[in-house]
Structure 1
Amino acid sequence: MIILVGYATIEGQTRKIAEAVAASIEAAGDRALLFDISSGGEYAIGHPEAVILCAPVHAARYPAAFVNFVRQEAPWLRGVPTAFVSVSLLIRSEFDEERDEARHFPQGLFDETGWKPRHVHHAAGALRYTEYDFFKRWIIRRMAEYEKAPTDVSRDHEFTDWQALADFVGAFLTSAKG
Structure 2
Amino acid sequence: MIILVGYATVEGQTRKIAGAVAAAVEAAGDRALLFDIASGAEYAIAHPEAAILCAPVHAARYPAAFASFVRQEASWLNSVPSAFVSVSLLIRSEFEEEREEAMHVPDALISDSGWRPTMMHHAAGALRYTEYDFFKRWIIRRMAELENAPTDVSRDHEFTDWKALSGFVEDFLDMAKG
Q: Normalising by the residue count of structure 1, what TM-score does the alignment of the two structures yield?
A: 1.00
- Counterpart residue type for residue 129 of structure 1: Y
In structure 2, how many angstroms separate the alpha carbons of the residues matched to 1:96 and 1:44?
A: 43
Q: Could you give the per-residue CA deviations for residues 41-74 of structure 1, whole angstroms, max 9, x where no partner exists? A: 0111110000000000000000000000000000
In structure 2, how many angstroms separate the alpha carbons of the residues matched to 1:78 and 1:25?
A: 20
Please, what is the CA RMSD of the aligned residues?
0.3
In structure 2, how many angstroms separate the alpha carbons of the residues matched to 1:116 and 1:142?
A: 36
Q: Could you give the per-residue CA deviations for residues 89-109 of structure 1, whole angstroms, max 9, x where no partner exists? A: 000000000000000011111
Q: Secondary structure at the match of 1:120?
A: strand
Give yes or no for the alignment of 1:149 onto 2:149. Answer: yes
Q: Secondary structure at the match of 1:90?
A: helix
Match of 1:134 in 2: 134
Match of 2:171 in 1: 171
Q: Secondary structure at the match of 2:5?
A: strand
Match of 2:44 in 1: 44
- Counterpart residue type for residue 131 of structure 1: E
Match of 1:70 in 2: 70
Give yes or no for the alignment of 1:86 onto 2:81. Answer: no
> Which consecutive aligned stretches of 4+ in structure 1 deviate over 4 angstroms post-superposition?
none
What's the % identity of the aligned pairs? 79
Q: Secondary structure at the match of 2:115?
A: coil
Q: Which residues of structure 2 form unaligned runs of 5+? A: none
Q: Which residues of structure 1 form unaligned runs of 5+? A: none
In structure 1, how many angstroms separate the alpha carbons of the residues matched to 2:112 and 2:135?
A: 32
- Counterpart residue type for residue 171 of structure 1: D
Match of 1:61 in 2: 61
In structure 2, how many angstroms separate the alpha carbons of the residues matched to 1:108 and 1:168?
A: 23
In structure 2, how many angstroms separate the alpha carbons of the residues matched to 1:164 and 1:44?
A: 31
